Amino acid sequence: MRHLLFIEASPRGAESWSRHRAGERLKEWGGPVLRRDTSRDAIPPVTAEWIDAAWTPEEQRTPEQRELLALSDRLWAELEQAEEIVIATPVHNFGPPVGLKAWVDQLVRAGRKAKPGMRARVFIAAGGEYSARQFVEPWLRQVLKYIGITDVEVSAEATAGRTLAA
């Protein structure tokens, strides 16, 4: 059965424009959805020890190094189950929220690639002065390309001064 991986990055919960817009894609999906809320479920930043573990050949890793990479391995397992990934994110100070950045940092590892044919749909909500000068879209396109996802569709919306009730 087809799975969709839904990455939610806004701390605004039900008031989030990006989640609202991504919800339209989720309704169309019609299959199982695995949700990961990077604003609610904290993802730790990478450390020097994590980097050393990631660059150590798998067969040479210590039990401690395997534990350091356990979350990264779980995130990869989630991605590998999916046929499509949907990312819903606001823009924070021209860039991604810290939770989304931490998710990317745990996910991107040399030699790890998504299965061929995987698609990504990105929904970006940017308010005020950020809407025309945000770096989330090119950053996410580069990240997704690096892990092997080149079929990427982005919808960016200026949301300053608007509420979901409008």
Per domain, the residue ranges of the chain are 4-158
Architecture (CATH level 2) of domain 4-158: 3-Layer(aba) Sandwich (3.40)
159 vs 81, higher pLDDT: 81
Average pLDDT, stretch 71-89?
Answer: 96
- pLDDT of 34-52, one tens digit each? 999 999 999 999 999 999 9
User: The pTM is what?
Assistant: 0.91
User: Which pLDDT score, from 0 to 100, does residue 156 have?
Assistant: 85
Residue 166 has pLDDT above 60, yes or no: no
Residue 157 has pLDDT above 90, yes or no: no
- Three-state secondary structure of 65-76: HHHHCHHHHHHH
